[in-house]
């Protein structure tokens, strides 16, 4: 059964040439409704622009920059302004829906929190990026907590150095 909310989201998406789909890692009706409630609680609305930006981050295969999001959004909404993208990304960070990371390429990149915590090893020579799981860093976080009585809240971290190939 289609709800009034689904019709509302579908209308926004159809008007902008977007599609909401079911499945993990994709923006679906349940997630959009939850985000809409969270925004509403803070006095914001789920606008077509915010929906497009969130959809771009959620459906990106890898980390995505504000400029890449802007380019995608302009395909559907040419009146979009880059400042809207930046403001929306800041709001999504506040809501803990996205994280931002500097992977050393001169641009901040965004990642959907729903895709899980992970960190990166970035080669400063060839630019190769290797994901590392949160669990690999647990001993470090524990050591910092015990030695310095400091609780680390790292949502997304990049370590810079040389990959195996570039060390040779």
Taking the C-alpha atoms of residue 36 and residue 57, their distance in angstroms, rounded to an integer, is 16
| Secondary-structure breakdown of the chain: helix, strand, coil percentages, each rounded to the nearest 5 | 50, 15, 35
Identify the residue with better confidence: 156 or 59: 59
Average of per-residue pLDDT across 84-94: 91
Listing from the earlier edge strand, what are the strands of the sheet with 64-65?
A: 64-65, 108-112, 98-102
Taking the C-alpha atoms of residue 73 and residue 49, their distance in angstroms, rounded to an integer, is 8
Identify the residue with better confidence: 55 or 155: 55
Characterise 162 by phi-psi region: left (phi > 0), alpha (psi -120 to 50), beta (else).
beta
**DSSP structure string for 19-46:** ----STTS--HHHHHHHHHHHHHTT---
Domains of the chain: 4-114 (1.10.10.10), 117-167 (3.30.1490.190)
pTM of the model: 0.66
When pLDDT is cut at 50, 70 and 90, the band that residue 3 belongs to is very low
């Amino acid at each position: 059964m289609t709800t009034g909310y689904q019709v509302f989201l579908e209308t926004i998406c159809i008007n902008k040439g977007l599609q909401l789909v079911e499945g993990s890692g994709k923006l679906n009706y349940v997630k959009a409704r939850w985000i809409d409630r969270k925004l509403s609680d803070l006095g914001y609305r789920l606008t077509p622009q915010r929906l497009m930006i969130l959809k771009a981050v959620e459906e990106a295969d890898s980390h995505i920059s504000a400029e890449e999001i802007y380019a995608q959004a302009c395909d559907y909404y040419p009146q979009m302004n880059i400042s809207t993208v930046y403001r929306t990304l800041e709001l999504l960070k506040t809501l803990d829906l996205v994280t931002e990371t500097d992977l050393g390429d001169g641009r901040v990149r965004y990642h959907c929190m729903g895709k899980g915590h992970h960190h990166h090893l970035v080669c400063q020579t060839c630019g190769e990026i290797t994901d590392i799981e949160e669990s690999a860093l647990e001993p470090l976080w524990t050591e910092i907590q015990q030695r310095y009585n400091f609780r680390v809240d790292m949502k997304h971290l990049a370590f810079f150095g040389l990959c195996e190939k570039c060390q040779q």
